[in-house]
Structure 1
């Protein structure tokens, strides 16, 4: 069925005659009459009894009017929901981030965001895999490199500083390395496993100051950054970790402070079609404000 004709039929029934319906829609009475006749021909049923006192719905016309009324109500509800989506922050927001930055930096701040926007429900997906935002696997992502997809909006958040850390208990037991060469005599902890190469490159204590073909041995290799930080904190050895996770930890100390260590930029990423969604807008602005104030 032609929706334009159904909409015209609805207006005719609501107005009571062709003339008033035509005036509301900006078309003449004869055009309205022709389109109603065409709709009746399409459906092969009469919709009105033409009476000198006006139009009277047939049984078929009453069925169609009820259906058109239901569609109109659904469209009005949809329009209202779309307005709320673009104007009022509400609804589900699926956020994906790496286990480290999502589980620590973001998790520490999510309560404040939820207090500010109580109608937004957050689903935080922690994974080192880059979910496909275009396929709606998530609404917004915090990434540690620029996205390859050209249709994604990207906003740099902050630079993540990495340094070598050891626990106070480990330093008391084994001493603190003063130079890179001293690492040869220490227990080295590393991130490994199925990780992107740019992530593995951050954990380079095995090759720092040495030929990459002749790395110093690792005492402990784990494929999870949280487990690596737990091992550092509990005195297993020296390992690389981001400052946002360790700088305020009273149980650890940054070592080799004078050595240049790697950095990594973080980005806020979301699809173009989510630009005008209010819950995405306020979440973006919230994270950007935290990043600009160096709230680590």
Structure 2
């Protein structure tokens, strides 16, 4: 415990920029805070603060030390809350966000099952295909599909999805089956949110620009158009799995299909997972797997 001596006092002074304010926050005397900081500086053989009559500020070494100590304090607080939370019953509001179609089809039915299991939990769900800011919006959890952009969010993989290129048997009989990516330019490729389709060729990712007579940011509309023989589509499995099993749609270019992608639960970095959030994430992971 010797290594911890003075750390809480140091962090408090660094954040309050005042020995007096830090002492009030910690409930100890200013003299005691000052003694602990002096002892810490002596132990480290480093000056941690610039002190004037008006202001206390971190030295360069103090700023580096603060970053490490802040993480240690956060970790200690997380450990204490994790123990106390185990005694709590999940309750209160959960604010969630998920993509529209996947959220309607898969997430919301499970969330409702979760609410029936824990009746003291309330849920606010925002189904949107827009990427919302979790911290600014006060969200506890977000469901994200596919490749994640680098961020400060923590992520847990819940399940996976696969993108298929497919068309109706009637379309393929009339216009032929493409066997190479270059042949896509001769086909009516129905465009969704993006005018590029992603593939894997020779172990590398490849993006192919496509074009067609229909542009619509609705997977259901593109599926319907493909079923009626209008053209080729590229959609995740959850839109078309039943159509593929029935033979109403047929996959093409399977050798160029990208590996399966993740379906993720995201939550803000360093935000403690309350019992209700932790239980919901585990419930979704178990159910979706």
Task: Give the alignment's TM-score, normalised by structure 2.
Answer: 0.55
Which of the pair has more CA radius of gyration?
A: 1
Look up the SS of the partner of 1:275 in the other structure: coil
Correspondence for 1:99: 100
Instruction: Give the Cα–Cα distance (whole angstroms) in 2 for the partners of residues 257 and 147 of structure 1.
Output: 26
How do residues 126-205 of structure 1 correspond to structure 2 at under 5 angstroms? 126-144=127-145, 145-146=147-148, 148-150=150-152, 152-171=153-172, 174-180=175-181, 182-192=183-193, 201=196, 203-204=197-198
Correspondence for 1:279: 276
Correspondence for 2:258: 261
In the TM superposition, residue 191 of structure 1 has moved relative to its aligned partner by 1.6
In the TM superposition, residue 154 of structure 1 has moved relative to its aligned partner by 1.9
Instruction: Check the 8 A contact 2:142/2:265 in 1, yes or no.
Output: yes
State the aligned residue count: 199
Look up the SS of the partner of 1:154 in the other structure: strand
Question: Which stretches in structure 2 are left out of the alignment for 5+ residues?
Answer: 1-83
Q: 1:227 to 1:90 in 2, by over 3 A?
A: farther
Instruction: Give the Cα–Cα distance (whole angstroms) in 2 for the partners of residues 93 and 285 of structure 1.
Output: 15
Whether 1:290 aligns to 2:287 is yes
Look up the SS of the partner of 1:231 in the other structure: helix
Instruction: Give the Cα–Cα distance (whole angstroms) in 2 for the partners of residues 143 and 280 of structure 1.
Output: 16
Q: 1:117 to 1:132 in 2, by over 3 A?
A: same
How do residues 23-102 of structure 1 correspond to structure 2 at under 5 angstroms? 87-102=88-103
Correspondence for 1:232: 226
| Structure 1 residue ranges, 4+ long, deviating more than 6 angstroms after superposition | 83-86
Instruction: Give the Cα–Cα distance (whole angstroms) in 2 for the partners of residues 184 and 148 of structure 1.
Output: 33
Question: Which stretches in structure 1 are left out of the alignment for 5+ residues?
Answer: 1-82, 194-199
Whether 1:123 aligns to 2:124 is yes
Instruction: Check the 8 A contact 2:94/2:122 in 1, yes or no.
Output: yes
Whether 1:243 aligns to 2:237 is yes
Look up the SS of the partner of 2:215 in the other structure: strand
Instruction: Check the 8 A contact 1:275/1:281 in 2, yes or no.
Output: no
In the TM superposition, residue 168 of structure 1 has moved relative to its aligned partner by 4.2
Instruction: Check the 8 A contact 2:85/2:274 in 1, yes or no.
Output: no
In the TM superposition, residue 149 of structure 1 has moved relative to its aligned partner by 4.2
Correspondence for 2:267: 270
In the TM superposition, residue 183 of structure 1 has moved relative to its aligned partner by 3.5
Instruction: Check the 8 A contact 1:97/1:125 in 2, yes or no.
Output: yes
